[in-house]
Structure 1
């Protein structure tokens, strides 16, 4: 009986040893560059891909979009909207696409993906929202439950990375 349990345990351990690396490959094999977002209210960016490296920057903006430009084990070299680059642990990022309003002056958020549709509200540069979808040159974003369509050129995090 003990031999059967030990054999079953060893078989299960061998299967898990094979499955874990395979399942983690999916996230590791994602083609760079790609978009991601900051997962938590506070996330550290480091100068290298390990907790041994000093913290270069602390992001305090959940949902802030970042461009992942390199993958190294469980670390991602990211570029932020200001062009700064550094390493963030993959667990601190989410694949949910975010977008940040850029440019001068307010951005008009419209009811539909048409510049002549009704104006819903305006967003100042720096407003962060979840990117819902894009059609041609306009994208729909959700900022705290308020949605609207905005010119894609006014968003960093929309379009191809």
Structure 2
């Protein structure tokens, strides 16, 4: 019995030791190069704009391995991202931009935002996010139309 308990304790300790915590990041630079590896000498895999949301997977020196809304993996310099605010991006073809938190509010003059358009999340009311674009304009979008990185724990065996 004592041997079985020790084996179970070892298995549980191993599982907890490989628990990874993913964290949401926001691009804080006006434009950021994402790369295929952790360093400026690696090829650019994608160029993103301010407020692009990302999920941090790991850190290597001053570089983060991140995942975008399509599940693709890249590396980005830690100096280009922040955790001091939350970001979202349009996940469907378009998202309606409204003057208030509901369908009874009028669409703003732009009317909609295209897929991947990033925003800073500034407020929440029911199922609606108030968001800000890189120019400082504020709108409301329904939470079902945007992707946001969520902080999760992943346990591997």
Query: Which has more strand, going by share of residues?
Result: 2
Larger RCO of the pair (alpha carbons < 8 Å, separation 6+): 2
Gaps of 5+ in 2: 1-19, 152-157
- TM value normalised by structure 1: 0.65
SS in 2 for 1:130: strand
Matched, 1:64 2:60: no
Q: Partner residue of 1:124?
A: 114
**Contact in 2 for aligned 1:41/1:59 (Cα 8 Å):** no
TM-superposed deviation, 1:91: 0.9
Q: Hey, what's the Cα distance between the residues in 2 that align with 1:65 and 1:35? A: 7
Q: Partner residue of 1:149?
A: 140
Matched, 1:46 2:35: yes
Query: Which has more helix, going by share of residues?
Result: 1
Q: Partner residue of 2:25?
A: 36
Cα 1:55–1:35, aligned 2, differ >3 Å: closer, same or farther?
Answer: same
SS in 2 for 1:43: strand
Aligned length, in residue pairs: 128
SS in 2 for 1:153: helix
Q: Partner residue of 2:102?
A: 114
